[in-house]
Amino acid sequence: MDLVFKALEVLRGRPLCDRCLGRFFARFGYGWSNLDRGSAIKRVIVMYYHWRVRSGDKGALEEFLPLAPNIGVEASGLYRLLTGADLEVKPCSLCGGSLEGFLDNAATSVAGLLRVYGVRRFIVGARVDEGILRVEEDIALKHSLDGWESIKNEVKREVGKRVEALGFTADFTSPEAMVIVEFPSGELEIIVNSLILAGRYWKRGRLVSQAYWPSFGGVKYYSIEEALTPLLRLAEGESVILHAAGREDVDARMLGTGRPALVEVKAPRVRELDLSQVEKAIEEASKGLVAFKFEGYANRGMVKVYKEEAAVKSKVYKALIAVRGGVEAGDLARLEENLKGATIMQRTPLRISRRKKDIMRAKKVYEVKCRALGGPFIECLIKASGGLYVKELISGDNGRTRPSFTETLGKEAACLELDVLLVTPIS
């Protein structure tokens, strides 16, 4: 019964509502709310005094009368029986008696906010006035209570339970949003997680960059991210970011099977989208230059995997190539034979050496297929590992890429047009 006497000691010092008293004994009993705990302890205390009064204990009434207002409604019946007067209950010294109503009101407001943002899966966070937290800790220390729970925790759990009862799902691993509830002000803050779509894109024209291309009146390219504007509008988000598995050059098209990509919409208000409607809107807005095919929704953990170029196992390119002096019999067969399965030693290309560190990479060419187009022109299909610079594989980049088309032919070769046909991600 030490537990009851500890509670009695606490209540002598200050009035506490059922929930705030029960919270100091939160770890005892199972499957109850702190409201149940507080109420049960108070009833036992009232019974204890009634028992003493009936046994003729003279001091019992003297002790009970000043304690009763701190206990609250549980003491009012016995108080009237012993004094003939109505008990004037003191408000809870921690929450002012507002906590119970707060939990219900906060849950209703949170649910309303989740509806505005189209969120089904949520978590609740809590912020509580520093003064209340300090008093709570002082009480626990002063009375050496070790099974207590913080009001912050209780607000989180109880609001979460009530929001779930309103038809939402608490999700601790991948919530769509977190709502922070502030006690006692009742203010709410929502942190909406991004909406992430998995799919592929096609770039049917040249001079289209992947990321938005900022410009001060200089060269300005249309970008895949700009083409995603209709998605941003339909999802009512703040911004859109493309996380693609590698990238092609601005002047290369992305054809064939498309490039795998994740599309992230920040702070969306609409999460349930008609994906085929989104695809159509993108195609229309970009006048057919950019197309997307969405396979479904993805989570944040996948973004990192998609962003790394190393996540691309192989790519198939189609290149239009000019060979100085034209091609002769045997040239194309030599290219196909010598480069098949070749390991290509490649230093960072000159054209990007200003912004990338100069390092040596070893990449693989799996296969090359060529056909003559007449004159100096040939068209080649090249299957290579992710991250190989194909324009340099063709030109040789002044000997920085070896072997190369130029080196193999003994004649200067240059890439005029480049398309990506197939991107195979490592999965």
So which residues are the catalytic ones?
249
Of 295-334, which residues contact Zn ion (CB under 5 A)?
none
Residue 157's contacts (CB-CB under 8 Å, 6 or more residues apart) are: none
Q: Which is nearer to Zn ion, 19 or 347 (CB)?
A: 19
Query: What letter would DSSP give residue 167?
Result: T
Q: Please report how close the Cβ of residue 98 comes to Zn ion at its closest, in angstroms.
A: 8
- What's the token pair of residue 99? 């906590």
* Interface stretch with Zn ion, choices 19-27, 142-150, 244-252, 380-388 (CB under 5 A): 19-27
Residue 17 found at the interface with Zn ion (CB under 5 A) = yes
Cα(219)–Cα(360) distance, integer angstroms: 30
Q: Please report how close the Cβ of residue 63 comes to Zn ion at its closest, in angstroms.
A: 23
Q: Which is nearer to Zn ion, 138 or 284 (CB)?
A: 138
Q: Which is nearer to Zn ion, 103 or 420 (CB)?
A: 103
Residue 348's contacts (CB-CB under 8 Å, 6 or more residues apart) are: 356, 357, 358, 359, 361, 400
Bridge partners (DSSP) listed for residue 259: 201
Q: Which is nearer to Zn ion, 7 or 92 (CB)?
A: 92
Q: Are 175 and 123 in contact (CB under 8 A)?
A: yes
Query: What letter would DSSP give residue 333?
Result: H
* Interface stretch with Zn ion, choices 20-28, 163-171, 180-188, 371-379 (CB under 5 A): 20-28
Q: Please report how close the Cβ of residue 268 comes to Zn ion at its closest, in angstroms.
A: 38
Q: Please report how close the Cβ of residue 294 comes to Zn ion at its closest, in angstroms.
A: 50
Helices of type H across 270-415: 275-285, 301-307, 331-339, 390-395, 405-409
* Interface stretch with Zn ion, choices 13-21, 40-48, 133-141, 316-324 (CB under 5 A): 13-21
Question: By C-alpha distance, which of 394, 322, 389, 385 is closest to 351?
Answer: 389
> What binding mask, one character per residue, do residues 43-82 give for Zn ion by CB under 5 A, x or -?
----------------------------------------
Q: Which is nearer to Zn ion, 95 or 409 (CB)?
A: 95
Question: By C-alpha distance, which of 195, 197, 153 is closest to 174?
Answer: 195
The burial of 82, by beta-carbon neighbours within 10 Å (0-12 exposed, 13-18 middle, 19 or more buried), is given as middle
Q: Which stretch of DSSP H or E encloses residue 5? A: helix 2-13
Integer CA distances (angstroms), 384 to 151, 169, 255, 359, 422, in order:
60, 46, 16, 19, 10
Q: Please report how close the Cβ of residue 300 comes to Zn ion at its closest, in angstroms.
A: 38
Bridge-based pairing of strands 252-266 and 290-297 is: unpaired
* Interface stretch with Zn ion, choices 15-23, 296-304, 352-360, 406-414 (CB under 5 A): 15-23
Three-state SS at 331: helix
> Count residues contacting Zn ion (CB under 5 A)?
6
Task: Give a three-class secondary structure readout of 352-420.
Answer: HCCCCCCCEEEEEEEEEEEEEEECCEEEEEEEEECCCCHHHHHHCHHHCEECCHHHHHCCCEEEEEEEE
Q: Which stretch of DSSP H or E encloses residue 71? A: helix 58-71
- What's the token pair of residue 186? 């009742």
> Which residue in the set 20, 107, 177, 224 belongs to the binding site for Zn ion (CB under 5 A)?
20
Q: Which is nearer to Zn ion, 95 or 290 (CB)?
A: 95
* Interface stretch with Zn ion, choices 10-18, 109-117, 244-252, 397-405 (CB under 5 A): 10-18
Q: Which is nearer to Zn ion, 102 or 317 (CB)?
A: 102
Of 79-118, which residues contact Zn ion (CB under 5 A)?
92, 94-95, 99
Cα(158)–Cα(107) distance, integer angstroms: 9
Cα(17)–Cα(10) distance, integer angstroms: 12
Q: Are 22 and 35 in contact (CB under 8 A)?
A: yes
Q: Which is nearer to Zn ion, 17 or 323 (CB)?
A: 17
Q: Please report how close the Cβ of residue 102 comes to Zn ion at its closest, in angstroms.
A: 10
Q: Please report how close the Cβ of residue 18 comes to Zn ion at its closest, in angstroms.
A: 8
Q: Are 366 and 383 in contact (CB under 8 A)?
A: yes
Q: Please report how close the Cβ of residue 139 comes to Zn ion at its closest, in angstroms.
A: 12
Give the interface with Zn ion as residue ranges (CB under 5 A). 17, 20, 92, 94-95, 99
